[in-house]
Structure 1
Amino acid sequence: MFITAKQITKNVERLYEILTKELSLTTDRSGGVEEGVLTMWDILEVLKDPPQTADQALIDKLVVGAGVHDLSAKICAVWDHFPLERGTLEPHLKLLAGTKFITQNAVNDRWTADGANGRQHDDADKIIELYWACLCIIAGMKVDLDDPVNSSGGKNPDVIATATDGIKWGFALKTLARVSNPVNVPSNMSRLMRGGIKQINASSVDKGMVVLNMKNVIDHDLIRQTMHIFGWDKAREQLVSQVANYTNDLHLNHSHDLLADLQASPRVAPQAALVAHVATPTNIFGRTVMTEVNAMVEEVFPPSRDDGAGSYAAEVHWLLWTLNDVVQKVR
């Protein structure tokens, strides 16, 4: 998927207008990419006028910014075409204005004592909630988004969306932290999924599912190298392969308690959505464009499960297909 600078600028300028003029939010700037931290405003400024340059600092901003462009497109679509839903997004947009991002080549030093778990900025973790809420709204669902500051403390799913048939869905969204050793990722996936199941069980939703954001545990550099050498299709294969390596280990070594929790939780879907996004700037015929590789992997538990048409699993499969369609078409 190629996104031109013109497309990027249009959505980013509109988001900038929403944040500064319609919500009267002020900028919160950091020391910039040189210090390993970017704010939303740093990224928006670059994306408003993408440079024709190979400067590494600007490339870092554009790499992070591709995801911001994708988020911008979804936010603008909701804000401009679903005005009654603006209030749903506003608390998260206020948080977004102060969000800081760790750049691709910066070292995250927030490790736990045993070195097993890294911790991303809490505010940045909330972005996936905003993104998923936008997908649901655009897909025609009525959304109740847990307040990012005055939240329920995990008592409710992060996004509650009522479908046109009246079914209330609860989505527990979990962002995997960066780890010093990738071998720890599958056990972290199991732990986060079990926490999401607990959230859904404690709520009043009719049905629910867990969504794992994989962005922090993906080897972005390897995927970008694959894209430059072999093209987009091979890069997407590489992304899906990385996710599959984690899920295979999860099923083999860390699924016993997870499967027990799912079996005891009939309202929770027997599959999870694993989402990932990688981007890199490139120059085509003198134009800066963003090459994006997205994946929404539907992981079934157990992997041998094969529910037929009309089953809960089939219903979830169709829902994820609909949401992924929004991801690909709203740019």
Structure 2
Amino acid sequence: MRLGWRWCLGHRHVARGFAARCGPLCLCGARRCPSVSDQTRARIHPPSVPPAQQEASPDAAAPSPLELRNRQLARASVDSAQVILMDRYRLRSPEDAFTLLRSASQHFNIKLHTVAELVARIAGPDIQDGLWFPRRPRTAAPALPGLGVARDGQQSHSAVLKAGLHRVLHITDTGMGNVQLVGNGMLRLEKHTGLNREFTDFFAFVHDAGTACAQAARQRQQVTVKNVESADVFDEDSRHAILQAGSRAAHSLPLIGRAGQVLGIISSHHEKTLRGFSQTQLTALAATGAAVGRWLHWHRQTVVLDALEHLHAQATGTNGKGPDRPQ
């Protein structure tokens, strides 16, 4: 059965392009983590119980293949990070590893999966060192002109993404849109408004080159789709998911980091077909993409690494001093 999984950044196509532009990490130039023991991995992933032996509630509806895919992808980075942390710090259980991840996530007000992805992608510190990144430079958060982010929210990941989405929808004069961020070679849906459940489930994790966001990410430039129904850029599954949500046109804006890498996409969706946008609108959109991209780069190099420092200090019992957590 065809499941309609032609998501934006294809595992074979665009993900390789990202690796070529961003490097294997998009962060610090660090090496990938070494492999961990099979014993430790088995403690996270015990042998599965055959379906015939599993107890199921008679009232529970079976999850769809799409739901199963989303659950698996949502858990993948967390499971990998638990394995690594158990092996690195000789933790007794996966729960201990999860506690470290959750503490770092909550203390610095960032998504747990963000912490997990970086644990899985960055080479670990010397266990004897008090700091994971002892010589990294520190800079203030970059300005966010035109986004209207309150001063106390300028270090908040959620506040900045919300403001960026609001700004794009204001410029493009629509009430539907979404934000996707790059992680693990795909785009992950982070924020959305005005879009229904079928749309958000379908595009929760974007993996294949069948939509405008893939083209915008690949080309690192804005892409306007004036008519979703007839545009060649969409595969049929993606086209259906967009049309059923009431979108007849779309615009995708890449969020470009300081080094020129694509860190995410903000897309607007429109109830009617488009003639296009004026140069004034396109210029304002480009400025928004650049501002949010610079901020995301700063956040990954500063707040996210602070969270990893916090995790390392807790795991080793050191007094590695980190900055105050963002509000």
Q: TM-score, normalised by structure 2?
A: 0.28
Q: Which has the higher contact order (CA 8 A, sep 6+)?
A: 2
Q: TM-score, normalised by structure 1?
A: 0.28
Structure showing greater radius of gyration is 2
| Structure (1/2) with the larger strand percentage | 1
| Structure (1/2) with the larger helix percentage | 1
